[in-house]
Amino acid sequence: MSDRFPPGFLWGAATSAYQIEGAVAEGGRTPSIWDTFSHTPGRTDGGDTGDVAVDHYHRMREDVALMADLGLTAYRFSVSWSRVQPTGRGPAVQLGLDFYRRLVDELLDHGIQPALTLYHWDLPQELEDAGGWPARDTAHRFAEYAALVGAALGDRVEHWITLNEPWCSAFLGYASGVHAPGRTEPAAALRAAHHLNLAHGEATSALRAALPARDQIAVSLNSAVIRPLSPDPADLAAVRRIDDLANGIFHGPMLHGAYPANLFADTAPVTDWSFVQDGDLRAIQQPLDALGLNYYTTSLVSAADPRGADPRRADARADGHGASAHSPWPGAASVAFHQPPGERTAMGWTIDPSGLYDLLLRYTKEAPGLPLLITENGAACEDGPGPDGSVHDPDRIGYLHDHLATVRRAMEAGADVRGYYLWSLMDNFEWSFGYGKRFGAVYVDYATLTRTPKSSARWYAELARTGELPLVPKA
């Protein structure tokens, strides 16, 4: 197998607005659900907020120059809905759009293709106050917002992503409550999932009407790779149940125009799904130009001991999504999660590149002919500057090398992968974990906001320059 990637393969890095921008009260921006959540005591580690984050709003040109120095050919960023349309309704605020116009122009001036994500979890607080994603109207508001951004930037941005990880928005935000808005209502989480699907479909249609025909529209799913603890039929049934809740609930309507056959029965004790209206599935299933996949780790499940005394069961965080007394899996009390074996990142996530191979081959069969993008992949590591100020992160280099080698193997097996976006460009606000987890290829000193490329950034720059996997340096 060759370690060389084809010409034209996109070498990118990814970020999101609330995690890096700061300037939360400038240019007409109003609070999002993450502003409210992070300012609520006990919601984030250390009480950290994104008020300043890494101040990308004021350091944008410096950051784009850094991307160019690293040889990136693409940059995936998200637009802050609250910065562009503060109430989630009405006309756009031009000051907000101007920031993204400047960002896009700066990227293009440096030969970097912008990839714009419309929604990375920062719903305007006024829309949450009106019901949030469990309310059907939010989907319609999102389509209007998509049209505004499309009209403003469609002439210069060719790569568009509607939603990032709608599973997290629905189930971590409205079921387990570990993400904003912090609600713990299983029925509302399932309504939110459907309305996120509807928002994706309506926004895709709105973008098609606003964008030039050349532009490409995708969605980014954090599709889970779920494995059984044993070949026992009960454990295999547990895999199917979680797969429907993690994957099929989104790719079913988006790609096939239908929810999984067993999903309604599995969740009948939670909701009757009467919020699905005639025509919704047609509206959701819109043609896509690519499918974005975010991958970090695998999941390991079994049937739960009905007595609640299964000696195989791992700790409460074994599903990898944070500690909560409330499950992010409505209707799945019969499933137990276990910590997969193997080395782990600083997030506690098992390192398993084979899961990425399985994911890419799955969607090669699930959506034949649809190009694939890896829109997030990376690792949180315990790294920091040495005595000379440099930051060496051999663990991250090893992680990236092994996952990218797996991508090449999947491509050899027939997966049509067009690009890879490293998560993340730089250390930033890691949601409910605050600033305690570092995913960046660039180290950020949070006291001074100085940026220092880590050794992984230089390794990735070599890969972007040559298209061939560099060797992993000896520790």
Active site residues: 165, 376
Strands 417-423, 10-14: pairing is parallel
Tokens 């109207």, residue located: 137
* Strand order across the 299-303 sheet: 226-228, 299-303, 335-338
What kind and span of H or E run contains 160?
strand 159-164
If you ran DSSP here, which 8-state letter would residue 46 be given?
A: G
Question: CA 20 → CA 23, 66, 450, distances in Å?
Answer: 10, 15, 13
Cβ atoms 376, 342 nearer than 8 A: no
Cβ atoms 133, 90 nearer than 8 A: no
Instruction: Tell me the C-alpha distance between 439 and 431, whole Å.
Output: 12
**288, two tokens:** 């896509």
Amino acid at 87: T
Tokens 């960023």, residue located: 77
Cβ atoms 56, 20 nearer than 8 A: yes
- For 169: left if phi > 0, alpha if psi spans -120 to 50, otherwise beta; the answer is alpha
- The alpha-helical segments, DSSP class H, found in 211-261 are 233-243, 249-251
